[in-house]
Structure 1
Amino acid sequence: MYRLFAISAIALIMISSCSQGPGTMNVKGVLENGAGETVYLQLFDDSAPADSAVIAQDGSFQISLRNPKLDFFKLSVGEQGRPVVLVFDSTQTNINITGDASGLLGSYSVSGSKDSELLKEFFDATEIFRYEMDSINKLVQGLPNDMDPVIRMALQQQQTKRKNELETELKQMAINNASSPAALSIISAVDIRNALPEYKTVSDSLKTVIPYSPYLTSMSDKIQQMDMALAQQKKQQAALAKLSPGSQAPDIDLQTPDGKFVSLSSMKGKYVLIDFWASWCGPCRRENPNVVKLYQKYGGKDFEILGVSLDSNKDRWIGAIEKDGLEWEHVSDLKKWNSKAAADYGVRSIPFTVLVDREGKVVATKLRGKALEDKLSEIFGA
Structure 2
Amino acid sequence: MKLYRKLHFLSIAFLFLIFNSCSTKNNNSFIISGSISNLETDYIILSQIENIQTKKTILIDTLKVNKRGKFNAVYFLEPTIYSLTFDNKKTLQLAIDKGQHITIEGNSSEDLIVSGSSDTELLNAYETFRKASLKRLVTTVRDSIKNLKTQQVNEQKITELRTLEVENYKIHLNELVQFVKENMGTSIAIYPTSTRWNNENLIVLEEITTNFQEAHPNLEITKKLLDRVQLLKKTSIGNTITGIKIPDQFNNLIELDSIKGTYTLIDFWASWCPPCRTESTLLNNIYTTYSSKGFNIYGISLDSNKERWLKALKTDNRIWTNVSTVEGFNTAVAKEFGITSLPTNFLINADGKIVASNLHGEKLKAFVEQLYN
What TM-score do you get using the length of structure 2 for normalisation?
0.48
Which protein has the larger Cα radius of gyration, Structure 1 or Structure 2? 1
Q: TM-score when scaled to structure 1?
A: 0.47
